[in-house]
Each structure stands twice: as C-alpha cells, then as structure tokens.
Structure 1
Amino acid sequence: MRILLNAMQSENRSGTGRYVTELARALHALAPKEELQYLCPDGKIRCFEEAFLQKPVTPLPLCKRVLTEQWKLPGLVRKKHFDLLHYPAGTGLLFASAPHVLTIHDLCYLKNPDWFPKSRARYFSFVMGKNVRHASRIFADSQATARDAEALLSVPSEKIDVIPLGISPDFSPAGPEARKQLRQCLLLPERFFLFVGTLEPRKNLTTLVRAWARLPEYLPELVLAGRPGWKITQDALRNASGAQAHRLHFLNYVPAELLPALYTEATVFVYPSLMEGFGLPPLEAMACGTPVVTSNTSSLPEVTGDAAVLISPEDETELAGALEWVAGDETLCSRMREKGLSQSARFTWEKTAQLTLAGYRKILGGY
C-alpha cells in the first residue's frame, strides 16, 4: 500500500497543523512497513524522517501551494505509482484526477459564513461541494461533523468514516518544576480561568469576557491564550470587560511545549465555542487535570462526555454561573479532574492512525 499524505499544513500553528503532524507520526510508528510518504510545506515529497525530524522548511506561497495541491500532486500520484492520496486539511481536489481521501474537520464556513472573512468563506463554499464529490471516502473528526457533511453537502453516510483525533502523551499534569518555569516565562495571576485558541468570532470570546466580568473580584482572573485571528480584537475584548479590564490578560500564541504547564496551572479551563468539528483544547486541559466548562453544541458534548460542565454558549448568565460554581467548589473540581483524566485517555493518536489505516484499506480493497 503506497500512500501519499499531503502534509503542506504541518507547519500551521492551528489544530489542523497539529493533526497532520501527529497523524504522520502515529502512522509511521504503527505501520513502518507501509510505504507512506509526505508532501512537505516546500512542495517536495519526503519520507517521515526527512519530513518531520529535520529542520523546518520554507513553505510555498499560497498561490504556489494551491497549484501544487490541485495540479502537481495528482500527476505525482500517477507518475510515482501511489495507490492513494490523503488530503487531511479540509480541502481536496477540484477534479477527479487521482484516487484520494479527504478529512473534514468542520463545516463552519458553510453553516455560519459570517464568522469568517468574506474571501475565505466564499472560497470554502465554492470548493467543498466539489471536494466531497470527487473524494473516494470522507474522514470526519466527529459524529457532529459527519452529520453536517450529510446535511450540508449531501454526502452519503456510508461514504463517511468517523475518526476522532487524539491527545499527545505530552499533555499530562505538569510537575512543580515545569510549572515554576512557566511562571518564569509568562506573567500569570495566581488563580485564573483559561481559554486557549485563535481569537475569532466562533470562539465566542465576547460572551465569555462579559460573563466573566459579572463575577465578584475574589474569583479567578481571565487569561486568553491564542494568536490573533479575525473580526475580534484585544481592544474590543478589553472594552467588553468594563471595570474588570485590569484582570483580563492576553498571552497571544503559546508554544506547544508550555501548554501542559499552562493548562495545569489554570483553575478552570473555559471553552464556550459556538461550533467545533472536534475540540482539542478541552481534552488537552482534561488530560492535564484541569476542570473544564464548555459548550453543549456541535461536537463538544460528544468529545467531553460527562467530564465537563456544559453550558448554552450564548447565555451569559448561565456561563457566569458555571464559572462561579466550578471555581468555588473544590469537591466538584476534584471529581471533574478524575473524570477528565479518564475521558481524555480514551483519545490517542495511535487509535486515530489505526482507524485511518482501516479507512485506506476500505478504499484499496483490504491490502
């Protein structure tokens, strides 16, 4: 079985970039005899060691990347006799020019285009219908995303494999030394609610800040960790916090190696997203032993099970009440930590790789 994985998104700092990197690592560990190769961000095909263990390469400009993915890559599949091409970042081929599988992480662009820049929403709306029509199979991160693919793109359920994402073993409760080093690197309040993710509309941060700002000052401060996105600014969020602005902190992008300690240090992790295709941050927080408050929408109940406190994300009063309840009840926090560790342990990249290989074999007739 000769598989070519499009890993051009592997250097992306988003959840998609992490998925591509972790999947490649797990596939390599699970099936070293399979002939798996990777299209790197610079447009060159490499084996695993060259693609992921050597120094980073310079990514292609966007226009060249699109040309490579749409025209060069299918030709390489035929020329080098690959059996299958895997597009793991949500978009695939516009034409039926090579056998391929497509991973869909979410369909937020179709369901709520106002959350995104117009050009991006229009692009994804244009390509997704063609992508799923030409793909041999669809991999979806969750049952929620699979249902969206059926409803919004008319994908037959029998064409979809639900393959949940995994949690790296790096995400576990951090020890005292790691937590001390974290506080030497970052200026953090003693107790804090934590959000991790891109600052963008669907993360529902304005509602989060307003809900938190209603709480008494003896409760934890609020830390937002994530790269700037679109349509949401730090200034706008400070304004939404009113008199609590001095207790609102922005960390911007936090390197992956610091995240386990950051999750561990948080009093409560809060993730009131309006829509997710999976939701890695809540699971990562659980794996680090931190209580989680998150939304009762899309994939989040499916992923967090009974280990999180679920709220209606657009209800400020309910969100504020949940934050006050969890932060003020140590017995509840202790139960949530135990449940969270158990729930997060169900999701591993090894399982993701096993299901991915099974999906490849469905297409290729067993192998």
Structure 2
Amino acid sequence: MNVTLVSRYFNPRNGGVGTVSEATLETLKLDKNINVKTFSMNNSILSFEGDINRFHHLDYLFFSLFETPIKIRSNLYKNTDVFHALSPIEALYLNKNKTVVTVHDLMLMTMPKMIHTGIFAKSYGYYFKKTLNKAIKSKEIIAISDESAGALANHYNLNIEELHVVRDPLRKNLYTMKNKHLNTDDKFTIGTIAHLNKRKRVNLLLKAFLKADIKNSQLLIGGTGNQLDYLKKMANGDKRVKFLGFVPDEDLNSFYNSLDVFVYPSLMEGYGLPIVEAMACSVPSITLNDAYIPKDLKTRTVQASRENLSNILNEKFFDVDIKSNLEFVKEHSHETICKQLNNIYKMVLE
C-alpha cells in the first residue's frame, strides 16, 4: 500500500503540528506493507523547515494554494493509494476518494485570535473553515479525541459513528528513568513545555510559582514563542526560573524525569500530548479547571484554579494514579496507532 502523508512539517521544531506529523511518520514505518512518502513545506521553494521563528502565513498560503495543487499531482505521487492529510488545510487539493483527513480541533474557527495574532487571525480562521468544508468530504475522517469528534459531528451534522477516534502517537524513548532528578540538585522542580503563546497561559504558572515562593525550588520552562520576552520580563531575573528554549527529542526524556510535577496551564487543546509525555515518565500533571482539554487526559491530572495553583504547588501533594496513567500511555504507542491507521487506510481501498 502506497501512503502519502501530507503536513506542513515533519519536524518537532515546528511545534505540535511537526511533532505529531513526525511521530505519525515513524509509526507507519513499523508496517512493512506500507510504503510511506511525505509531502510538506520541505518540498516548497520557500522551504524553511526547522526554523519555527521564521514561519510566515504568506509563505504557507503560497505553498498551500499554489505549489500544492501542482506538485501533489506530479509523477512522484501518482502511485499513491491513500493520501493522509494531517490537518484539514492539507486536504484541500487531494482526491477526496483517496483521502483520510485528521481533524485535531476547531480552534481556528472558534477562537482564531488565540492561535494567530494580528491581521491574519480572522483571515486564517476563514481559510481553515473553507478547507474544513472540503476536508469533511474525504473518504475517512479521523478525530484525535471524543471531544473533537463530537464537535465536528455537531458542527457539520455528521454521523459520529462514522468518524474514527485515533489518539496522537507518542514520541519514542519516553520512559521512567531509574535515577530521576539527577540534574536538579535535590530541588523541588516544576516544569512545563509548550509553544509559548497566549493560549498556553504559561504566565499563570509563572505568576503562581513566584507567589508560592517555595524553598529550594525551581521552574523549568521549555519552548519558544512570541511570549518568551514577556515571560522573561515577568520573571524579572529570578534565578529559580530557567528558560530552556527548544528542547530536542534527545533531551526530552531527561527533562520530564527531572520534574517533580508537570504543569500544563493551556486554555484549550485538541488533545494535550505533553501531559501524556509526562505520564510516560511517571510525573504527575496539573491542569487548570477552566481549561478545555479532553476528559480522558484532564481527569488524570490534578485540577487547580488560577487562585489555588500556588497553594497546590506549595503543598507538594499530587493525587494522581501513576500506575493507571502508565497503562493509558500504552494507548498512544506506535504499534497501537499503526494498527488503527492501517485498518482505516484499508477502508479507503474497499
């Protein structure tokens, strides 16, 4: 079976889209009966894969609207049996009868200003809506959570029973280390990792950490984004707050295993894979109770309000079922996801 994965990027340096796309690619490589190719902005004459800070909406629109319809029909992809668009925008010019599309969430429609800022926010939401109208006509549709499936079914009056729920695959080499906290000097270590934008609300965590003023503690903030300078200014030179920048895959396991608790204060997620990554390393997580995060994940975390987050950090008691969480992590394994995707691809060929 010849499968072409279509995504903006296949690189974790480009945020959640790149992370999930790369993990999906690695997942499909497990099946010797699948010959997988990729189509992404790495194919673009404007290619800048790996440099998230240089992302520009006009570059992506040029690639999506003008390059894609020409190149996707080239000889390189003519033998494709199944196209898998890893977001609705990527499905715009694909043959609907040969296409599987993954819908992560509807945030670009419901809250575009939380995703993109400036003059592009509204137009990007409009463009996403138009492409989603086309994407839902694909042969098979995947949602990454029950909540995303429900929202999609309700918004477009689809039969939810015909939608597939397939979780995002977890990156490899995330596990509980025997010698945890080796690089933290016995400090109580709180951490988060995210693309540092308004929706992720890392400022709420930073505010709570400074207010808690826990002895012999530190806060590790991984990631880059347009709020980095704002957060650094907010930290005001406090040496307990460490900005790690982009954390590469080879350092990710050590990062999670260095933590006593992982905090994910995001307002809204289609899924929230970093929570699962922390679970894989036996680290308890905290989310905020006003967050829109799939129930499967949120109920496995300590839920705090903005007002009591600092108190919960101070108490250092995080009532989560680590053993149960580790079992839940297995549902995101490459082997599990590969079998699910293989079955869906076969449905396209029927």
TM-score (norm 2): 0.82
Question: Residue 102 of structure 1: SS of its match in structure 2?
Answer: strand
Question: Residue 29 of structure 2: SS of its match in structure 1?
Answer: helix
Q: Give 1:162's match in structure 2, choosing from 145, 161, 165.
A: 165
Per-residue CA deviation, residues 267-299 of structure 1 (Å, 9 max, x unaligned), is 110001111111111111111121111234433
Change (3 A) 1:128 1:70: farther
Q: 2:349 aligned with 1:364, yes or no?
A: yes
Show the 5 A alignment for 1:27-176: 27-29=28-30, 31-39=31-39, 41-43=41-43, 59=49, 62=60, 65-66=63-64, 67-73=66-72, 75-76=73-74, 80-95=78-93, 97-98=95-96, 99-115=98-114, 116-118=116-118, 119-131=120-132, 132-176=135-179
Question: Matched residues in 1 for 2:167 and 2:328: separation?
Answer: 13
Q: Give 2:219's match in structure 1, choosing from 222, 226, 240.
A: 222
Question: Residue 3 of structure 2: SS of its match in structure 1?
Answer: strand
| Contact 1:94/1:127 (<8 A) preserved | no
2:332 matched to which residue of 1?
Answer: 347
2:19 matched to which residue of 1?
Answer: 18
Question: Matched residues in 1 for 2:234 and 2:292: separation?
Answer: 26
Residue 142 of structure 1 and its aligned partner are, at CA, apart by 0.8
Q: 2:313 aligned with 1:320, yes or no?
A: no
Structure 2: give runs of 5+ residues left out of the alignment.
51-58
| Contact 1:9/1:89 (<8 A) preserved | no
Q: May I ask how many residue pairs the two structures share in their alignment?
A: 332
Q: Give 1:270's match in structure 2, choosing from 257, 263, 267.
A: 263
Change (3 A) 1:189 1:109: farther
Partner amino acid, structure 1, of 2:270 = G
1:51 matched to which residue of 2?
Answer: none
Which is further off, 244-253 or 137-146?
244-253
Question: Matched residues in 2 for 1:82 and 1:254: separation?
Answer: 35
Cα RMSD between the aligned structures? 3.1
Structure 1: give runs of 5+ residues left out of the alignment.
45-56
Residue 114 of structure 1 and its aligned partner are, at CA, apart by 2.1
| Contact 1:173/1:289 (<8 A) preserved | yes
Change (3 A) 1:156 1:69: farther
Question: Matched residues in 2 for 1:104 and 1:143: separation?
Answer: 12
| Contact 2:9/2:42 (<8 A) preserved | no
Per-residue CA deviation, residues 31-79 of structure 1 (Å, 9 max, x unaligned), is 21233333355329xxxxxxxxxxxx96596466323333421x23897
Q: Give 1:299's match in structure 2, choosing from 267, 270, 293.
A: 293
Partner amino acid, structure 2, of 1:140 = A
Per-residue CA deviation, residues 92-116 of structure 1 (Å, 9 max, x unaligned), is 3335645312112222222212212
Residue 170 of structure 1 and its aligned partner are, at CA, apart by 0.6
Percent identity over the alignment is 20
Question: Matched residues in 2 for 1:123 and 1:294: separation?
Answer: 28
Residue 155 of structure 1 and its aligned partner are, at CA, apart by 4.4
Question: Residue 317 of structure 1: SS of its match in structure 2?
Answer: coil
Partner amino acid, structure 2, of 1:356 = L
Partner amino acid, structure 2, of 1:108 = M
Change (3 A) 1:169 1:62: closer
TM-score (norm 1): 0.79
| Contact 1:94/1:134 (<8 A) preserved | no
Change (3 A) 1:220 1:362: same
| Contact 1:77/1:85 (<8 A) preserved | no
Question: Matched residues in 2 for 1:70 and 1:59: separation?
Answer: 20
Partner amino acid, structure 2, of 1:301 = K
Q: 2:279 aligned with 1:281, yes or no?
A: no
Question: Residue 289 of structure 1: SS of its match in structure 2?
Answer: coil
Partner amino acid, structure 2, of 1:266 = L
Residue 211 of structure 1 and its aligned partner are, at CA, apart by 2.1
Per-residue CA deviation, residues 202-254 of structure 1 (Å, 9 max, x unaligned), is 111222222222213326322211112x3x243x3345457x94432211111
